[in-house]
Structure 1
Amino acid sequence: MSDQPTTEEIRQRITDLDAEIAELRRLDGDAQARRGEDGGESEGIIENEELATELTGIAENQAVIDVLLQRRESLEAKLNAAK
């Protein structure tokens, strides 16, 4: 038995990654849209710590997306090499 994934397994991994990337991009878009919004009980002032936390979360999310895109590219290369 080989440790190498089949082309169908690679395709499934790519499909799974595409779904995960799409969800993270959706969440990123939501976070970008909310960035700097005041809460319902706010007096109109955004705390520096809150803004920093939001920006850090957005940056971390983008870093995860970048890693997943690299993984997807690697799987695409394996799939193309198997053809």
Structure 2
Amino acid sequence: MSDEITAEQLRQELKDVDEELAELRRLTGDAEARRGQDSDTSEGYIEPEEIATELTGIAETEAVIDTLEQRRERIEAQLKALG
């Protein structure tokens, strides 16, 4: 059995990465849309810790997105190399 990756395997991996990117972008958009909104039980004041936690989560998700985009570019390059 060969250790070489086939074009079909790369296309599937690319599809998986695209799906993961779409989900992470959706989650980031949801989090950004909610950022700073009061909850139903809020008295109009958002704790600084809550804001920091939300911003950290968004930043971490964006870092994962960046990593996945780099992975996507590598996969596309591999596919192109296979011709």
1:21 CA drift (Å): 0.2
Amino acid at match of 2:6: T
Alignment of 1:38 onto 2:43: no
Q: Give the letter for the 1:47 counterpart.
A: E
Residue type at the aligned position of 2:64: V
Residue ranges of structure 1 left out of the alignment (5+ in a row): none
* 2: CA distance, partners of 1:64 / 1:37: 25
1:59 matched to 2:59: yes
SS at match of 2:5: coil
How many corresponding residue pairs? 83
Query: What's the TM-score, normalizing by structure 2?
Result: 0.97
1:28 aligns with 2:28: yes
Shift of 1:2: 1.8
Whole-Å separation in 1 of the counterparts to 2:36 and 2:79? 42
Aligned-pair distance for 1:33? 0.1
How much identity, in percent, do the aligned residues show?
64
